[in-house]
Every structure is written in structure tokens, then in C-alpha cells.
Amino acid sequence: MSAPSLTAGGAVLARLAQLGVDLVFVNSGTDFPPIVEGLAEADAHLVDLPRAVLVAHEHVAVGMAHGYYFASGRPQAVMLHTNVGLSNGATGAINAATDHVPMLLMSGRTPTVEQDRFGARTVPIGWGQEMRDQTALVREACKWDYELRFPEQVPQLLDRAHAIACSTPKGPVYLSLPREVLCEPCPIEAIEQAPAMAPASIAASPAAIADAAELLAGAERPVIFAQRGAGDERGFEALARLADAWSIPVCQYWAVATAISAVWPIRTVERGLNRPTAFAAVSPPASSTASGSPESTVGASKRKCAMISDPNASSSVIGAVNDRPSPPPVANAASSKSSGRIPNTTLRPS
């Protein structure tokens, strides 16, 4: 008796579950019959599957996978319809690449053969949706791309795709899934094996971190620029403690993720391309606590920072109000002599 098997369409979904994918955001088309049948087939074999979420537009589907990763920290999958669906999801892939969001982006592929094979072309749209290079629609936004060619490739292919997407720097990957291949059988035991690849995580070396700490400790007017957030909740809290202990302003310039609280007293604000970016000029605290750690000047003196703009001046500065004299302000990182700028005055509460 032959070993039980699933079609490759069912195997793709089963392997995604093995890799920890919770949801597959789907906008389907004529390439999806083997996927739909694979769902029913896997359920009949009591195989664990991710939940399929039907979405009315491809851009929304990719955006939902993007947001789910931000909320959970786990990469999800998206399945779209041949070239037309993939083109609608291309902007979402660019967004995911920009935000370093890992994602398994997949789309069907118009059948290659026209007859005598299960999954062959059956309707005229099969000719209309053929492309010489369908992957080109998202290739520049993806870390890696591949086309499924044989059903037995499914476990190893998805293992590789997931590992590459989750390796530093994280980002989307793309898989093309031809309909004829999705219709072919794949052994269940191959799907049940443990993943063969793991993501590679890269971080700064201890020496590089020590050098950065030395530069920061020796700076007369330090400022921290944070564009991509603080990594996670622990990083968010650690950055707040560092900035509080040393009264270092944090500038979230063109930020794609929040690195520090919006009510942080010495948080500077990115004002846009035509606005100056200003930050406080603050030296490290002179006193320390009994334990040797620097005293929190923000907590002790209720520092207040104000964004002050002089309509007649060509730049803006942040003045720091403290119960000890503040050092002179630093000139703006960006200033403009153009006229007609609307002045901004913002008081940041302590």
C-alpha cells in the first residue's frame, strides 16, 4: 500500500503551519483550485493548517500580513492570483521591504501546458495572463524568489523561503506556484519533518558596541537618531532609560517605527523636507547617585523643552529649561534661508 499523500497545493499550506505561520491572506483566481482542494484534503487527513483569510483586494492582503507581523512578531503568508493579482500587491511588497517585514509572498502561475495534464489551461484567460517574467513585478522588493517546479520540493522550498525572509535584514520573499505542479501529489511524511533551515540573526559585535558607547560618553552635545524603532519592547525601554539618564535628545528622523514615547520631554520632531530639524544641546549630568549610576536630570528637574521659531530667523533651536544653566544651543542640522516659512512653536510637557 502506498504512503498517504497530499497534492502540492495542500502540502504548501501544511508546511506553512509547520513553520509557525498562523494566517494566509488570500485573494484567489483561476490558479487556486488545487489550493482550495488542498485545504479540504489536508483537513481530511487531520493535518494542521494555517487559517485562510479571504481579502477583497491584493494590496489590503499584503498590508494585513505587514500589520500582523508588527503586532505579533511572526511572519505570515500571502497568496495572490497570477500576474494581475501580483501586480496589485507589488506596492505592498515594496512597503514590506522598506520596513524590513518578513513575509512569504506567493502567487499562482498560468499553466504552461494546454492539454493532457491535470491542471492544464482550460479557459482563454490562461493565455492572456502569461508573462515572460512574472517575478519581475516584485523581484526588486524581495530578498529571494523561486518557482516551484516539482511537488517534492515543497518542504525544502518553503523552509528556505521562511529562513531567508526571517534572516537579518528581514524582508519579503516571493514564490511562483504553477497550477500543474500544485495538482501533483507530495508525500505527507516529507511535510511532517522538522524544518531544515533556520534564520540567521546578525547583530553588532561587542567591540563595535563598546566603541559606540565610548563615542557617546565622550560627546559634548550628543543626539540619538532613531529611524527604525528600538527593535522590541525591551529595546524601547532601554533607549528611554539611556536618554533619561544622560538627558540625550532623541530624533526620530523620517521614522518608520516608534523608538521613544511621543511625550518624551526631549524628543525632537521631524518637521518634513522643508522644515528645519532641531535638537537640544545637553551635556551629560555632572552628578551621580549613590550606586554610581548617572542621576536622571529629567526626572529630578522636570526638564522642559520648547521648539522656538523666530519668523525673522533662518533656523530653529530647542531651548532647554533646567535648574542649572544649559549649554549654548547647537545650530540646526538642516536650515533654510528661503522666505515664507510658517513658524512653529511647540511646548513639550515634562
pLDDT digits (tens, 9 = 90+) for 79-132: 999 889 999 999 999 999 999 999 999 998 776 766 666 656 666 666 566 778
| DSSP secondary structure of 147-209 | E--SGGGHHHHHHHHHHHHHSSSP-EEEEEEEHHHHTSEEEHHHHHSPPS---------HHHH
- Which pTM does this prediction carry? 0.70
Check pLDDT > 90 for residue 59: yes
* pLDDT at res. 52: 92
Q: Distance between CA atoms of 132 and 134, rounded to whole angstroms?
A: 6
pLDDT digits (tens, 9 = 90+) for 158-181: 999 999 999 999 999 999 999 888
Query: Please, what are the domains in the chain?
Result: 5-192 (3.40.50.970), 206-348 (no CATH)
Check pLDDT > 50 for residue 326: no
Q: What is the average pLDDT across 297-306?
A: 34
